[in-house]
Amino acid sequence: MLRSWEGDQALSVDWRNRWTTAFRHAEEFKRFEKNFRNRQTQLELGYNTRSYESVSGGYTVGRNFDADFQLWTGAATYTLTEELSAEYELQRLD
């Protein structure tokens, strides 16, 4: 008997003006005492993500082990000097 499976799809586009958009979807099945079908869909937008001076944000919605969730993310990176850089990331899970 099949105990689990997982499928992942992703599409990412790097535009000429240094913007990036990404779409990801993951779905899986787990058989325990109860059957669980987990899924998550993510949309992300970023600017200058190929460099270390960038900003990005995203939204993920899904279901994980019978619990619905929403996840908001944001990140920024900046080079202060040649030897020092900073990175800040926020996440909010509802």
Q: 74-87, pLDDT tens digit by residue?
A: 999 999 998 999 99
User: pLDDT per residue over 23-68, tens digit each?
Assistant: 999 999 999 889 999 999 999 999 998 788 999 999 999 999 999 9
Domain that residue 57 falls in: 4-93
Neighbours of 49 (CB within 10 A): 20
pTM (2 decimals)?
0.85
pLDDT at position 22 over 90: yes
Task: Domain count for the chain, please give it.
Answer: 1
Q: Could you give phi then psi for residue 84, rounded to 5 degrees? A: -135, 130
**DSSP-H helix ranges across 26-77:** none
Residue 63 exposed, middle or buried by CB count within 10 Å (0-12, 13-18, 19+): middle
